[in-house]
Amino acid sequence: MKLIDVHAHLYLVEGRGEEDKWRLEFSKKYGISVIIVSVLGSWGKRTPTYFPDPEDFSSGNRKLWKFIKSHEASPKIYGYAAVNQIFTREAIEEIKKGIEVYGFVGVKLVAPVPCSDLSTFPIVEKAIEYNVPILIHTFHKKPQKLWGQNPSDSSDIAKLAEMYPEAKIIMAHIGGGGDWEYALKAIKDNDNAFLDTSGSGCDRGMIEKAVRIVGENRILFATDLNITTGIAKFSEARLSDAQREKIAWGNAKSIFGGVEF
């Protein structure tokens, strides 16, 4: 069965080469043929990971583009244009460059503000114009404070999806921490809100419940930073063959127009 990882990362910074190597090795070993990757700027070395300045996120995207160009082996790599929407003008420019010059296939939002903030709206409009998905870093029913980030929660995702029904929004990592059951209920009526299966949270029954509440047509296989956990979680989920195919690659195929599967 094909396996498409729609939420993966490469570091491409000094000192993290081994982790990048594992990413590619494990993807290949476990049959992930396509990974859709973002590089979050300098990963906190120059400006904060979840609040990169334009130079930082632009540099990360450029590095990813160069890496993709030089990478010929399996898995096949596609890119997201990772941006900080607070710098709206620069973010829009970066998306344009990412899609038109680098050949990226989606937009990745980090977490300077929740996605219901009005700074996000022009970004979503740009993504709609290019007909590409937007992957949004999300914490599910967040506590009062999270160190170093101000992420969206599932209610922000639902709000944005409702405002822009033509947008293809991916709520990142259902196992990304917090009350994931709440998150499923929060987005269940938003047909243009998808979720990915990644995240360090690996409660048994998570994917099965996602299928029950949100439906198998809006779930996308992913691993984020936890490759083996992501693979084991998906392989252990009690799914029918048809459900498994859709989550493994079928749904990704339907929303990522620019990706060759």
Partner 1 sequence: MIDLLMVLGHWPFRRIDDVNITDFIKVMDKNNVEKAMVININGAFYRDASESNIELMENLKGFEDRFIPLGTVNPLYPAWKDDLREMVEKFGFRGLNLYPNYHLYSLSGERLEELWEEVRSLDLCLSIIVSFEDSRQRHPFDVGPVSESEIIGFLRKHPELKLIVHNASYGMARDIFLSNPNNTNYLFDMTFFYDVPIGETIRFLKMAGENRVCFSSFYPFRDYKIGIMKLKETGISNDSPVFGDNVRRFFQ
Q: How many positions of this chain bind partner 1 (CB under 8 A)?
A: 29
139 binds partner 1 (CB under 8 A): yes
Q: Supply the Cα-derived Rg of the chain in whole angstroms.
A: 17
Q: Give the interface segment with partner 1, choosing from 56-64, 77-85, 92-100, 177-185 (CB under 8 A).
A: 177-185
Nearest to 23 by CA among 55, 58, 67: 67
CB of 15 to partner 1, least distance (A): 11
d(Cα 50, Cα 113) in Å, to the nearest integer?
Answer: 9
Q: For residues 212 and 231, what is the distance between their CA atoms, to the nearest angstrom?
A: 20
Cβ neighbours for 21, distance < 8 A, ≥ 6 positions apart: none
Q: Which stretch binds partner 1 (CB under 8 A): 70-78, 85-93, 137-145, 148-156?
A: 137-145
Q: Which of 224, 136, 145 is nearest to 183 (CA)?
A: 136
Q: What residues from 7 to 36 belong to the interface with partner 1 (CB under 8 A)?
A: 18-19, 22, 26
The answer to whether residue 240 forms part of the interface with partner 1 (CB under 8 A) is no
Classified as helix, coil or strand, 110 is: coil
Applying CB under 8 A, among 24, 237, 239, 255 the residue interacting with partner 1 is 237
Nearer to partner 1 (CB atom), residue 73 or residue 143: 143
CB 240, min distance to partner 1, A: 17
Q: How many C-beta atoms lie closer than 10 Å to residue 148's C-beta?
A: 11
Residue 148 binding partner 1, by CB under 8 A: no
According to DSSP, the residues that pair with 136 across neighbouring strands are: 109, 171
44 part of the interface to partner 1, by CB under 8 A: no
Question: Does 212 participate in binding partner 1 (rule CB under 8 A)?
Answer: no
**CA–CA gap between residue 79 and residue 38 (Å, rounded):** 6
Query: Judged by CB under 8 A, does residue 229 bind partner 1?
Result: yes
Q: Pick the binder of partner 1 from 76, 126, 173, 233 (CB under 8 A).
A: 233
At 212, list the tokens. Answer: 């029950």
| Contact call for residue 226 and partner 1 (CB under 8 A) | yes
**Residue 183, both tokens:** 């998150």
Residues that bind partner 1 (CB under 8 A): 18-19, 22, 26, 139-140, 143, 177-181, 200-205, 225-229, 231-233, 235-237
